[in-house]
Structure 1
Amino acid sequence: MIDKELLRIIEQAASEGITELDLSGKELTALPPEIGKLTQLKKLILGKYKYDEQGNIVGIIGNNLSALPPVIGFLNHLEELQVIGNDSLTSVPPEIGQLISLQILNLSNNQLSSLPEEIRQLTNLQKLNLWSNQLSSLPGEIGQLTNLRSLNLNNNQLSALPKEIGQLTNLRSLGLHCNQLSSLPGEIAQLSNLEWLDLGCNQLSSLPGEIAQLTNLQALVLQSNQLSSLLGEIAQLTNLELLDLSSNQLSSLPREIIQLSNLRSLKLSVNQLSSIPREFAQLTNLEWLDLGCNQLSSLPGEIGELINLQALVLQSNQLSSLPGEIG
């Protein structure tokens, strides 16, 4: 889009007092200072996802922005800002902290290497999406976003989390998939309202005992880590419906796992399990059980008591027979 056309769009938006402006897919390399005139805007889209009929992401309609102008801070009525898919965008200006009405901020699929400390001023923010950037650390100031309900940090380069993350007590969903985390701060236990925690594709060799305090957790994803054992304290997560432990180094499971009576899906593929405890039969709500790619030579007959099971995956084991009770 040439500058004159963009300026015309901005002028028209200003004169008509529109509250939503979509500039995705316009091949923008920069935003003119005139964008600061649109103080009535509540939603600004500078890049977005493309969805199929089922609601799945199938592409990105982005731009070529390398920076956001400081005048972005003038848009203090913005409630939603989407800046998705700008391969040259490595930072956001500190003036973003002036967007005090912002409730949704989506900065995914860019090249951000850091966040400004001023992000702490976005105290009305409820959803922050930073998926697929180059973040190696988070500022401690992120803990001041106490109204956050969803934080997506998947596909970054985080090697540690600031202890201040424990201040996000309204958080319901935390995505940390595909980072470089080798440990978690004990303060994660303070996220008492957390329902979804994705820690897959990291370098975790153990979990802090404090994770057992996340009693509202419904989904815990730990696939593709380096876990060789599981804490018995995990049994305290009695609201868990999904537990994904696939692609780890587990050779056994704690018997306390049978206390997770609300489990619907248990994924244990690609581990080193040689047996399944008979007490598994107590997980009567299980609908999906994946035991593929282990070292199982037999199954306990009690597995037949899992009467709600809809899927049982057993490929790539050492089974020569199945118990009759499976019928």
Structure 2
Amino acid sequence: MKGVEIVEGQAYFSGSTAELQRALAAGELDACGSLVVEGKLNALPPEIGRLTRLRELVLDTDTLQTIDPAIFACAGLVKLVVHSNQIKELPAGGWGRLARLEQLEFAGAKALRGLPEDLGAAALLGGAFDLLPQTKLTALPRSFGRLSRVTLLRLPPGVAAPDPIAGMTGLRELRVRAVATLPEDLGALQELRFVDACECPITRLPASIGGASALRSLSLGRTLVTTLPDSVCERAGAARSGSAADAADGAAGGDRAGAADAAALAADGDRAPAGEPGDAGGRPADLPAARSAGGDRGELGGVLAALGERVVFE
């Protein structure tokens, strides 16, 4: 197929940039709610701004190099997909106008060198952002940390997580590689379940990490971390108390999740005796022993017991 084909509001275009420009200018696509663009386009022309009813736009062409900022006039856009491996940047300056945008996909856009500084202004934008294929990215815009509906963020080596990150309240999974730090406010994320920082040259965890109450997996294999923050030790004690309370409720026929099941660092062992790492004073646990020969829970005491296999050393 070449040219325009419309089936029940779903439009398909295949051709050149000039041909798309003519079709848009003639109003052939004005009524469509979804548009799939294929062919040998090198640019998405400014006439795209005519499509105010457009809800879904799929740019499935390996030759696309630029997207005109007029796309921000497509105020009804809910989903934008960019598959071109030639495009190096997305337009900037109008993401706040895309008030209905919920989904942005660019897994095939491997040449991307950066994301727009105002991307975080698209308030409804969320879902999974697996950016591992975008190996040319060097950083995320600061505004990315405001995207409260993003649930998964996987970053290519060397790209740090947003800092601050507390605005990403819906984030459940974070994966970073080859970065020296984790966001200081990481513990503010109450939905966060998985953090994978393997092979990162980090030497410490954020002091707030114990506040991430839903945390289930904290992977730190081949890092330089040797201590756990006080907040982890404090959560160990709190979770242990929750375990005792849940046990009592269970005996009485209750069935609640409880702190031991819901807390990120659920306690399943005794606290370390005074003077040992992780003692009742809340001192950080010394971890090198755990990283050699499998570790010794007797030495690490209650803190590592509290982590209950959720801290992974490989």
Q: How many residues align?
A: 251
1:135 equivalenced with 2:112 (yes/no): yes
Q: Percentage identity across aligned positions?
A: 22
C-alpha distance in structure 2 between counterparts of 1:175 and 1:19, whole Å: 33
C-alpha distance in structure 1 between counterparts of 2:105 and 2:157, whole Å: 15
Map of 1:124 onto structure 2: 100
C-alpha distance in structure 2 between counterparts of 1:146 and 1:126, whole Å: 8
TM-score relative to the length of structure 1: 0.64
Q: Is the 8 A contact 1:212 1:234 kept in 2?
A: yes
RMSD (Å), alpha carbons: 3.3
CA, structure 1 residues 190+87, in 2 after alignment: closer, same or farther (shift >3 Å)? same
Shift of 1:184: 3.9
Map of 2:66 onto structure 1: 91
Q: Deviations over 1:62-84 (max 9, x none)?
A: x5432223222222211111224
Which residues of 2 match residues 167-206 of structure 1 at below 5 A? 167-168=146-147, 170-182=148-160, 184-186=162-164, 188-191=165-168, 193-201=169-177, 203-206=178-181
Q: Deviations over 1:223-245 (max 9, x none)?
A: 34222322342111111233333
Q: Is the 8 A contact 1:21 1:45 kept in 2?
A: yes
CA, structure 1 residues 219+109, in 2 after alignment: closer, same or farther (shift >3 Å)? farther
Shift of 1:253: 4.6
CA, structure 1 residues 127+71, in 2 after alignment: closer, same or farther (shift >3 Å)? same
Shift of 1:251: 4.3
Map of 2:122 onto structure 1: 145
C-alpha distance in structure 2 between counterparts of 1:108 and 1:179, whole Å: 21
Question: What is the SS of the residue equivalent to 1:189?
Answer: coil
Map of 2:245 onto structure 1: none
Query: Which of 9, 30, 34 does residue 39 from structure 1 map onto?
Result: 30
Q: Is the 8 A contact 1:21 1:43 kept in 2?
A: yes
CA, structure 1 residues 196+183, in 2 after alignment: closer, same or farther (shift >3 Å)? closer
Q: Is the 8 A contact 1:22 1:45 kept in 2?
A: yes
C-alpha distance in structure 1 between counterparts of 2:227 and 2:291, whole Å: 6
C-alpha distance in structure 2 between counterparts of 1:167 and 1:289, whole Å: 28
Q: Is the 8 A contact 1:129 1:153 kept in 2?
A: no
Q: Is the 8 A contact 1:107 1:129 kept in 2?
A: yes
Map of 1:267 onto structure 2: none
Q: Is the 8 A contact 2:217 2:312 kept in 1?
A: no
Which residues of 2 match residues 55-134 of structure 1 at below 5 A? 64-84=40-60, 86-108=61-83, 110-116=85-91, 117-131=93-107, 132-134=109-111
Look up the equivalent residue of 2:48 and give its one-letter code: I
CA, structure 1 residues 278+45, in 2 after alignment: closer, same or farther (shift >3 Å)? farther
Look up the equivalent residue of 2:105 and give its one-letter code: N
Map of 1:207 onto structure 2: 182
Map of 2:291 onto structure 1: 273
Query: Which of 204, 208, 230 does residue 233 from structure 1 map onto?
Result: 208
Shift of 1:145: 0.7
C-alpha distance in structure 2 between counterparts of 1:251 and 1:153, whole Å: 29
C-alpha distance in structure 2 between counterparts of 1:115 and 1:91, whole Å: 7
Q: Which ranges of structure 1 fall in alignment gaps of 5 or more residues? A: 48-62, 265-271, 293-327
Shift of 1:109: 5.1
Question: What is the SS of the residue equivalent to 1:45?
Answer: strand
C-alpha distance in structure 1 between counterparts of 2:214 and 2:153, whole Å: 19
Map of 1:310 onto structure 2: none
Look up the equivalent residue of 1:172 and give its one-letter code: V
Q: Which has the higher contact order (CA 8 A, sep 6+)?
A: 2
Q: Is the 8 A contact 2:128 2:153 kept in 1?
A: yes
Shift of 1:91: 1.9
Q: Is the 8 A contact 2:65 2:84 kept in 1?
A: no
* 248-257 or 73-82, which deviates more: 248-257
* 275-284 or 213-222, which deviates more: 275-284
Q: Deviations over 1:186-239 (max 9, x none)?
A: 2x2222x222343423x3211232122122222333234222322342111111
Which has the greater radius of gyration? 2
Q: Deviations over 1:282-321 (max 9, x none)?
A: 345x6x88544xxxxxxxxxxxxxxxxxxxxxxxxxxxxx
Q: Deviations over 1:81-112 (max 9, x none)?
A: 1224x333222111111111111112245332
Q: Which ranges of structure 2 fall in alignment gaps of 5 or more residues? A: 240-259, 266-289
C-alpha distance in structure 2 between counterparts of 1:185 and 1:231, whole Å: 12
Q: Is the 8 A contact 2:163 2:184 kept in 1?
A: no
C-alpha distance in structure 2 between counterparts of 1:172 and 1:128, whole Å: 11
C-alpha distance in structure 1 between counterparts of 2:37 and 2:312, whole Å: 41
Q: Is the 8 A contact 2:157 2:179 kept in 1?
A: no
